[in-house]
Structure 1
Amino acid sequence: MFKVGDYVFRKSYKKDVLFKIDSINRQQIVAIKGVTYRILADANIYDLVPAGGLRSTLNERDAIEIIEKNVNKVLEEHKKLDNKRMRKTGKVLHIDGDAFYLNVCLKYYETLGVDAVGENIAEALQPIKVKELIEKYNPDILVLTGHDALQKDGKEDAIESYKNSKYYIEATKEARKIRPSSEQLVIYAGACQSYFEKILLAGADFAASPNRILIHALDPAFIVERIAYCPFYKVLEVTEATKYIVTKGGISGYEVLGKSRDGGPIL
């Protein structure tokens, strides 16, 4: 009936999000990943319907239009910067549990002129690998993301109700052991419906998801661009940091200082 790689919708959620089948067990429970939203879920195979030729929902197509407009706005802002002086923007280490999303984000970092390196690390391994990768790349900005989900009847204040939030929390704590302050390292962590409050408490500067909603795969990239291009002496307000994210209310956090530095004139 279904196989790994098929695109599907969930009937019980009124076909709200397009998923791709990641695995199917003997009990006919299917692990599914969002195609454009950073959600991971389990579904009974009988709750699924084929997506046919569809590769996006109406909401997801609307998101594509928003992304295109926002990219153009960012690039217009960059054109207004003083191009007669050298400029060093913040370096990003993007650790992602999903290889496809990682590559999408890296593509957009390049488009937006953000200096970024990426590592595809499963969420459960991120707490183990994060310090090693920070030492290797010495970033100014760290992204810890992948997939997550809050159980349908789960309690928002219970860590066991979340698929992967505990890994983002532990990875953030590990990162802070070697980069204790946001002046040394700005951290974004989380994915769809993540345990926002606990991630911030662990030491993140920005996190998902205060309203326990789905976030778009590219939301972390738009946050990062704001931080990377903000001058080091300027406080980046949360409203400015989240200005271009696709999912309004999906990410929030604290004010931080920017990571961009201007140099001497280009001769």
Structure 2
Amino acid sequence: MNIEINDVVGRLSYRCDILFRVIDIRMIDGHKTAVLYGEDFRLIADAPFHDLKKMDPREQDRITQEFRSKEEQSLDLFRQDIELLKYKQEYRVTNAYRDDYNYFQVPGKVLHLDGDPSYLRKCLDLYEKIGVPVKGVHCSETEMPNQIGSLIDKYRPNIIVLTGHDAYSKSKGAKADINAYRHSKYFVQAVREARSKSPHLDQLVIFAGACQSHFESLIHAGANFASSPSRVNIHALDPVYIVAKICFTGFKDSVNVWDVIRNTLTGDKGLGGIETKGVLRTGMPYKITEEE
């Protein structure tokens, strides 16, 4: 079979339900094997060539359209949430609209580390659409524990996202064994490093994990939100929806966990967390310059 790096493929044993891109080709136990990254899910996998099908453009379009439709639905619901949050802040600042104050809002700053440059670009595009201040850094999952400390010192974020690709392998151990996961232990180490910089859960909010990640270890390490409680795949954009909701929630208000994850593409099987305060701050007065 003529499969090359960067080809889009599906796994026959899974009825080609997820699109993958071939990122490497290796010989494993004498079999030609492809290393795969999910196109829409934060999943990394190995598959022998005999289990792969090269997807033609029409098949890719059909599957991609299904995901894009879900993304648009989720984005529409999220925008409604953001509008409601803005109205709530406006109501509070203007004393139930009795006072005519000029005010401005400062959402939290996000530092997003991603092991996949393609996913990072998708996430940065979504942050821009929503209006979240963000610094994106492409960093391999294995290097995140070494890089996170200096990046926190440099960018001073309110929220950190540590994500990329992950996967659980039954052949490597039970689900409780973190060594049975491709990158979970590196996410855990990075969370611990970040928490050593800022121990308070409401002074630095952390999302960590990818597809099938060891949720419990990430929460115990100090993450506010993480994947994946039921060890399922998470969508590439799910971390953005979570941190953006926190960005636009006032710092005096707590974010209900269900309110954060209900409009994500994965839901509570793939995402979870602990009660966390928002990071949005309101100021005044807002002065309009002559140029405006």
TM-score band w.r.t. shorter chain: over 0.9
- Distance in 2 (CA, whole Å) between partners of 1:20 and 1:56 is 16
* C-alpha separation in 1, matches of 2:210 and 2:78: 21
Q: Which residue identity lines up with residue 197 of structure 1 in the other structure?
A: E
1:77 aligned partner: 84
Deviations, residues 192-243 of structure 1 (Å, cap 9, x unaligned) = 0000000111110100000111100000000011111111111111012213
Percent identity over the alignment is 39
Which residue of the other structure, out of 258, 279, 286, is the alignment partner of 1:239?
258
Q: Is 1:14 paired with 2:15?
A: yes
Partner of 1:51: 55
Structure 2 match to 1:30 = 34
Q: 1:66 aligns with which of 69, 73, 82?
A: 73
The answer to which of 83-92 and 99-108 deviates more is: 83-92
Structure 1 CA distance for aligned equivalents of residues 114 and 266 of structure 2 = 19
Give the aligned residue type for 1:10: R
The one-letter amino acid paired with 2:140 is A
Asked whether the 8 Å contact 1:74–1:112 carries over to 2, the reply is: no
* Residues 59-68 or 177-186, more deviating: 59-68
Structure 1 residue matching 2:200: 3-state secondary structure: coil
* Cα contact 1:66–1:246 (8 A) shared by 2: no
Matched, 1:148 2:155: no
For the residues of structure 2 that align with 1:56 and 1:166, how far apart are their CA atoms? Answer: 36
The separation in 2 between residues aligned to 1:238 and 1:209, in whole angstroms, is 14
- Consecutive unaligned residues in structure 1, runs of 5 or more: none
How far the C-alpha of 1:72 sits from its partner, in A, is 3.9
The partner residue of 2:283 within 248, 263, 267 is: 263
Instruction: Quickly say closer, same or farther: Cα 1:56–1:198, change in 2 above 3 A.
Output: farther
| TM-score (normalised: structure 2) | 0.87
Aligned-partner SS, 2:18: coil
Mark the CA change 1:72 to 1:178 in structure 2 (over 3 Å): closer, same or farther: closer
**Counterpart secondary structure, 2:134:** strand
1:182 is aligned with what amino acid?
L
The structure with the greater share of residues assigned to helix is 2
Instruction: Give SS of 1:9's match.
Output: strand
Structure 2: any 5+ residue segments left out of the alignment?
Answer: 91-100, 288-292
Alpha-carbon separation, structure 2, partners of 1:238 and 1:23? 38
- Distance change (3 Å), C-alpha of 1:84 and 1:239: farther
Deviates more, 1:25-34 or 1:185-194: 25-34
In the alignment of these two chains, the number of paired residues is 267
SS in 2 for 1:25: strand
2:237 maps to 1:218: yes
Query: Counterpart amino acid of 1:252?
Result: G
* Residue deviations 1:40-92 (CA, integer Å, cap 9, x gap): 00001110001110146265244233234235424543663539311111110
Q: Which of structures 1 and 2 has the bigger CA Rg? A: 2
What is the SS of the residue equivalent to 1:265? coil
Q: 191, 216, 228: which is aligned to 2:210? A: 191
Counterparts of 2:38 and 2:185 in 1: how far apart (Å)?
20
- Shift of residue 252, structure 1, vs aligned partner: 0.5
Instruction: Find the aligned partners of 1:127 and 1:211 in 2 and give their Cα distance.
Output: 25
Report the CA distance between 1:184 and its aligned residue.
1.9
TM-score, normalisation: structure 1: 0.95
1:123·1:164 contact (CA, 8 Å) conserved in 2?
Answer: yes
Alignment of 1:123-138 (within 5 A): 123-138=141-156
Q: Is the CA contact 2:166–2:209 (under 8 Å) kept in the aligned structure 1?
A: yes
Quick check: 2:82–2:245 contact (8 Å CA) kept in 1?
no
> How big is the shift at 1:245?
1.1
- Judged with a 3 Å threshold, the aligned counterparts in structure 2 of structure 1 residues 14 and 100 are, in CA distance, closer, same or farther, namely same
Query: Residue 182 of structure 1: CA displacement?
Result: 1.4
1:181 maps onto 2:200 in alignment: yes
Matching residue of 1:87: 105
176-185 vs 149-158, which deviates more? Answer: 149-158
CA distance in 1, matches of 2:50, 2:261: 38
Counterpart residue identity of residue 21, structure 1: V
